[in-house]
Amino acid sequence: MKILYPFILFIACQLATLSACAQPASEKDLVYKILDVLRSGYDSSYAALFPTFKMMSDMAATYQPRDSFQIERINRIRVNMRKLQQFDPEYNHRIVDRMNFVRQKGVDSGVHWGDILIAKYELDKQRLPYELIGFELIAPMRMQGYIFIRDMLTRKRYGIAVKDIYMMDGKWYGGAVLNILEASNEAEYEESLAIEEKELKKLMIYKQQGLLDSVLAARDSIRKSKLYAGADVDEEDDETAAPMYKDIADRKLYTGYFDKQVEVELYMRFIKGTCPEGICSYEAMYKFGDLDEYIILEVERKPDGTFVLTEEELGVMELKLQGNTFTGTWTSVRDKTEYEAYLKEKDELRDRKLYKLDKTYEDTFWR
Interior CA angle at 194 toward 191 and 199, to 5°? 130
Query: How much is the pLDDT for 208?
Result: 60
Specify the DSSP class assigned to residue 304: T
Query: How much is the pLDDT for 244?
Result: 43
Query: How much is the pLDDT for 221?
Result: 45
Dihedral of CA atoms 89, 90, 94, 95 in degrees, nearest 10, equals: 10
Residues comprising the chain, all counted: 367
pLDDT along the chain (367 residues), means of 10: 44 41 86 95 94 95 90 90 93 92 89 93 87 91 94 93 94 94 91 80 62 46 39 41 61 91 91 85 86 85 92 86 93 84 87 80 70
Query: How much is the pLDDT for 245?
Result: 52
Query: How much is the pLDDT for 367?
Result: 55
Dihedral of CA atoms 78, 84, 88, 93 in degrees, nearest 10, equals: 140
Measured CA to CA, the distance from residue 273 to residue 276 in angstroms comes to 9
Query: How much is the pLDDT for 149?
Result: 95
- Alpha helical stretches, state H, 112-266: 186-208
Domains in the chain, please, with CATH? Answer: 22-190 (no CATH), 248-366 (2.40.128.120)
Query: How much is the pLDDT for 36?
Result: 95
Query: How much is the pLDDT for 366?
Result: 60
CB 354 within 8 A of CB 251: yes
